[in-house]
Structure 1
């Protein structure tokens, strides 16, 4: 059996708190395992024995690993997680919950940065098909509508798409 490809998210020492935070936000979400640093290898990893090493969790049935790897690496916008939403209510919920304690300056075009520095794209599920429309004028109008937005507005995107 081939195991799924699983994103591993590097945290300084907040892996368990982050995983529990994410699991509290999403449906079909759960912690599936926690491992701890042993008393060996401390000269390399620098973590006290018993400190959480990894937290395995699922969001909407997809596996993730959170790793307490220390302060060496930080998240940046080169990688983000997309959350596709069917309704404005759902989009508003994820925008608010994932954005709590995050960086308001990093909010643009449906992107936000959470309290741990991880970037998320809170995206209406109808946006990707709109952006693939064969009519370049429609694509241009939708792009012009969402570029100045922080949190995306589904009705405004629909209006831009439907304009003649």
Structure 2
């Protein structure tokens, strides 16, 4: 079976980004660094909790966009807050749990509880949770739950 892995195009700071990412996620490491013609890192392999990625320091021809994002499913609000704060450092908040880090990589920081609420057998309850999510930047579990439970009288 062939192996697939995402390759992120960076202008030049792929190694710094990979080092930051592996410092945030458990069971993560830099797996390879291949130099380019000038000796600086050209391709960097890294693993985030067992999932392999590559970065290519390919120059300014292409820019990262939210068309590709990395989703982090978090167990609780504390985990949401930890990854949100760490990845947002030097970056920019977006909506619905999305942010762009300082290197331009888009991340979705999502509590597993949102997935449960979206799959609720009561479609009105699920819809209320989704509406609440659409109005948030950082996702807040307690607010999602409160919105889901707030049935009209």
Residues 21-51 of structure 1 deviation map (CA, whole Å, 9 limit, x = unaligned) = 111111111001110113xxxxxxxxxx212
C-alpha separation in 2, matches of 1:8 and 1:130 = 32
> How much does 1:134 deviate?
3.2
C-alpha separation in 2, matches of 1:28 and 1:163 = 39
Which is greater in Rg? 1
3-state SS in 1 of match to 2:73: strand
Q: CA RMSD in A?
A: 1.3
In structure 2, what is the equivalent of residue 135 of structure 1?
A: 122
Q: How many residues align?
A: 151
In structure 2, what is the equivalent of residue 150 of structure 1?
A: 137
| TM norm structure 2 | 0.93
Structure 1 runs (4+) deviating above 4 angstroms are: none
Please say if 1:109 is aligned against 2:114.
no
Residues 30-75 of structure 1 deviation map (CA, whole Å, 9 limit, x = unaligned) = 001110113xxxxxxxxxx212111100001100001101001111
C-alpha separation in 1, matches of 2:144 and 2:6 = 31
Counterparts in 2 of 1:91-106, with a 5 A limit? 91-104=80-93
> How much does 1:140 deviate?
1.4
Please say if 1:72 is aligned against 2:61.
yes
C-alpha separation in 1, matches of 2:83 and 2:89 = 10
C-alpha separation in 2, matches of 1:129 and 1:148 = 18
C-alpha separation in 1, matches of 2:5 and 2:49 = 13
Residues 56-104 of structure 1 deviation map (CA, whole Å, 9 limit, x = unaligned) = 0000110000110100111111111000001111100000000000024
3-state SS in 1 of match to 2:121: coil
C-alpha separation in 2, matches of 1:62 and 1:32 = 11
> How much does 1:163 deviate?
3.5
| TM norm structure 1 | 0.87
Structure 1 gap ranges (5+) = 39-48
> How much does 1:136 deviate?
1.8
